[in-house]
Structure 1
Amino acid sequence: MASPPASSPAVALVFTDADETLTGEAVALDVQPVGFFLRAVGALIDFVIGALLLLGGGLLIAFLAGQGSLPESALGIAIVTLLVLVMVAVPTTVETLSRGRSLGRLAVGARIVRTDGGAAGFRQALIRALVGVLEIWFTFGAIAAVIGMFTPRAQRLGDLLAGTASERTRTPRLPAEAPGIPLGLEAWAQVADVSRLPDRLAARLSQFVRGADALTPDARARVAASLADAVRPFVSPPPAVDAESLLRAVSAVRRDREYRALMLENERAAALTERG
């Protein structure tokens, strides 16, 4: 999300990507929409469960009719009631009570929310279920699939009419905290010059630091020695430490200085925006 400087306090423009979730206060939420494939898998699971419910209800109606417990005049009413229950009432109830979830969505790690990020309610669930009779049941999901392929967040027709979308509930695990300056090198880090380190070599260095623990001891020592020989000419003054400690120290110093530079740049940009 980016906001250009406004010349008047009464005018403010907010630009968002098509797949961003924007709240009513014009704040873009960092949420991940569920992709088309996962939505299709979840919908297929729910469809199969619904078909099994229809089959079970149909067999029960046939059994009652065969036993004479269900008059012929009530047979049509029973069938329509079954269809309404399975296609509309059950999905609406489940989605409302579970706050946008279903068995299929639980399986793929998704839930239905409003497009502003809020929890979907009864109205949204009912609209989605009613439209789903056409786009999922009557067409076996063909309409939902076609529309979902051409919408930014794989929204089906029911989502577009109800103002909803599907978001992930299983977020990826955060990466481990980046290692800091090795003990004993704090004073060196204050005066070290690592600015001449080439970007390509810095990328290799960062990759080694992140993945060193996964290497075997022999491979770890060999790669560290090779990288240290390549890094040492670009570091002034080079610390008198082992190869891996050198690499971790240089990586931490470079990362911390780039972070501080980015923060200063953001502060200057914010100051210029306020003056404008």
Structure 2
Amino acid sequence: MSDLVTGEAVVLGLRAAKLPSRGLAVALDLAVQVAGLVATTLALSLLAPDLDGAAVAAVTIGLTVFFLVALPIMIETLSRGRSLGKTALGLRVVRSDGGPVRFRHSLVRGLVGFLEIIVLLGVPAVVCSAVSSEGKRLGDVFAGTLVVRERVPGAGGAAAALPPVNPQLLQAIGGELVALDLSAVPEPLWLAVRQFLGRIGELDQAVAHQMSARLADDLVARTGHPVPYGVHPAAYLGAVLSERQRREWTRAQGYAFQQAQQQAQVQRQQQQPWAPTPPASPVTPPVAPLAAPPVPPSPPAAGTGFAPPA
């Protein structure tokens, strides 16, 4: 059993592949690669028989690098750590933290593997794999990878790791899950639960039960709700994770509906016909009333000799 640990300190318990199975897988891969190299070389010799010695040497070197270095790197990268020989024997290359390999890991493994397996006839690979407790060769040491067994005897997938659970019992705890407070559960714990449930089919049954019980205890410590009696810890983890995903989906749907309503309201406002505002009537200033004309003074009376003052 390998002591493989993820970034969330979750022990995976995968079984590392040893020298016999790895050697047989490498032999199958090399047989296919050499057969492809020979067939391609013969086909080119028949199609272009007039090539000179330098061209033949260049083509031969190019085909050798392609079939023995480039092709294994591409296959391992695209298949996430598998090859023809590893698939036949149920093996897979993973990172030291249990994640899938990437191009840089496959590149280092391919270049170092060409030196230690092809150039040096596999002697360093055999010695290193025999000495290592996890069966690593030099390419795995430099790339930080590990070859594990995917088909573990006695573990028939997730169905074999999980015992049968009474559906009525799961239906009975459904109401408790709806009322469960999940706000105190940190995101790293959710990530550890998802990774464990995704790889439960690759684990030994005893290891899977221990890990599920430990994760369930961590979940109970943050929610304050114990695991119901008779429910497997892994089944309870799956039910709680499904409830959290349901809440997130409901919240996302509500947010999307609110955004759609706001967008529809904006569109309705933009589509309303524009009505021009009537111009305001001009304000006429008040007209002052006309003043009465002044009354001229009356003329003096005749014969009195009195004239009024001006």
- TM-superposed CA distance for 1:176, in Å, is 9.7
Q: Is the 1:61–1:78 Cα contact (8 Å) retained in structure 2? A: no
Q: How far 1:175 sits from its partner (Å)?
A: 7.9
Partner of 1:115: 96
Q: Is 1:32 matched up with 2:15?
A: yes
Q: Does 1:160 align with 2:126?
A: no
Deviation at 1:105, TM superposition (A): 0.3
1:127 and 2:108 equivalent? yes
Among candidates 54, 57, 65, match of residue 37 of structure 2: 54
Q: Which amino acid aligns with 1:41?
A: L
* TM-score computed with the length of structure 2 as normaliser: 0.48
Q: 2:206 is matched with which residue?
A: none
CA deviation string 1:232-272 (max 9, x = no partner): xxxxxxxxxxxxxxxxxxxxxxxxxxxxxxx9xxx9xxx9x
Separation (CA, whole Å) in 1 of partners of 2:53 and 2:27: 34
Quickly say closer, same or farther: Cα 1:164–1:87, change in 2 above 3 A.
same
SS at match of 1:29: coil
- Which of 13, 28, 46 lines up with 1:45 in the alignment? 28
Amino acid at match of 1:43: V
Structure 1 portions without partners, runs of 5+ = 1-16, 179-262, 272-276
- 1:201 alignment partner in structure 2: none
State the alpha-carbon separation in 2 of the partners of residues 147 and 45 from structure 1. Answer: 20
CA distance in 2, matches of 1:137, 1:124: 19
Q: Which runs of 5+ in 2 are unaligned?
A: 165-212, 222-310
| CA distance in structure 2 between the aligned counterparts of 1:127 and 1:176, rounded to whole angstroms | 38
CA displacement at 1:78 relative to structure 2 = 0.5
Q: 1:131 to 1:176 in 2, by over 3 A?
A: closer
In 2, distance between residues paired with 1:128 and 1:49?
Answer: 18
The separation in 1 between residues aligned to 2:105 and 2:86, in whole angstroms, is 16
The 3 A distance-change label for structure 1 pair 28 and 80 is same
Matches within 5 A, 1:195-234: none
Match 2:118 to one of 130, 134, 137: 137
1:179-258 matches, within 5 Å, as: none
- For each residue in 1:145-178, what CA deviation from the matched residue of structure 2 results, as whole angstroms up to 9, or x when unmatched? 1110011211111011000001111133348969
Q: Check the 8 A contact 2:110/2:139 in 1, yes or no.
A: yes
Partner residue in 2 for 1:81: 62
1:55 CA drift (Å): 1.6
**CA displacement at 1:62 relative to structure 2:** 3.3
Aligned residues: 165
Report the counterpart of residue 231 of structure 1 in structure 2: none
TM-score normalised by the chain length of structure 1? 0.54
Q: For residues 94 and 175 of structure 1, what CA distance do their matches in structure 2 show?
A: 31
Alpha-carbon RMSD across the aligned residues, in angstroms, is 2.8
Q: 1:22 — aligned with what?
A: 5
SS at match of 1:152: coil
Aligned residue among 141, 149, 154 for 2:130: 149
